[in-house]
Amino acid sequence: MSNFGDVTYADAPAADSTAPAGVNGSEQPILIDPNDPRLTSEVLTIDETADAYAVLPPLPDGKWRMKAKQVDIKDDKGQLQRYAVFSRAKMANGQPFFATNIEYSAIDHGTEEFDGVRITDYWVKTLLDQRKGTSQAATMILKLGGKLPASPTQKAVMDTLLQVLASEPELIYETAWSAECQTCQNVAKKRGEKAPRPFLQGMHRFPATRTPGVHDPIVQCPTCKGQVRAQARLVAPYSLKETQPTRGVAKQG
């Protein structure tokens, strides 16, 4: 869902809000004996052709089964909240609305290479899109298998969305590679201009590699000639009843 010019960052875990907490949710480090048998006796299987510093390719385009989770949003005072209230002059004439963030993690029962890869949808809003007749928050309640509140005020819709997200429900999300130049976006921002659109969208438009079906995520920005890496973007959500995943599915036999 990318309406109202909001930005969806792929693969990049949001600062602090999604940093993994320690075991049992505590931030305390776990003290370990250096002679722990997990360190001294457990023999690891190491792939000598692999490289732990290699950057994994972005999630390939397709329909992925994903698990949804609420993550905190920064309010206008810079504080992290489960959800927050906003008003923007350029959005629906400053009408107030609530927003939260939803993090989706891919479920990969196939190669498992992409299992757990996360994409966060920032600013999921309760603001009614007049042309579409619904809001992002209401859409996600339904796609995640929930029911809209009987009297859908913005507050009731946000409360329902948080309730639905509490069980970490699943859905199918269609994703696609997108190349956007950060350098050119920063230049436009400094000039007070509109951010440039992604200059390449869809994995099949990226250069082919020697491996069939695998594309190179690194491309050159046509404007500044800088190197840009494709990011997987959320394109279209579907409920589990609406469609089947085309990716992350275990091979038969």
Residues that bind Zn ion (CB under 5 A): 181, 183-184, 221, 223-224, 226
Give the helix ranges, DSSP H, for the chain: 37-40, 136-143, 154-165, 182-191
120, 18 in Cβ contact below 8 A? yes
Distance CA 192, CA 144 (A): 37
User: How near is the Cβ of 185 to Zn ion at its closest, in Å?
Assistant: 8
User: How long a stretch of residues is the chain?
Assistant: 253
Query: Minimal distance in Å, beta carbon 5 to Zn ion?
Result: 19
CA 223 vs CA 22, 83, 114, 141, 204: distances in Å:
44, 37, 32, 40, 21
Nearest to Zn ion of 119, 221 (CB atom): 221
When the beta carbons of 167 and 227 are compared against Zn ion, the nearer one is 227
- The smaller minimum CB distance to Zn ion, of residues 39 and 224, is found at 224
CB nearer to Zn ion: pick between 208 and 224: 224
- Minimum Å gap between C-beta 4 and Zn ion is 24
Q: With contact defined as beta carbons under 8 Å apart, do 190 and 82 qualify? A: no
How far apart (Å, rounded) are the C-alpha atoms in residues 56 and 25?
Answer: 28
Give the Cα separation of 8 and 6 in Å (integer): 7
Rounded least distance, CB 184 to Zn ion, Å: 3
CB of 233 to Zn ion, least distance (A): 18
* C-beta closer to Zn ion: residue 4 or 9: 9
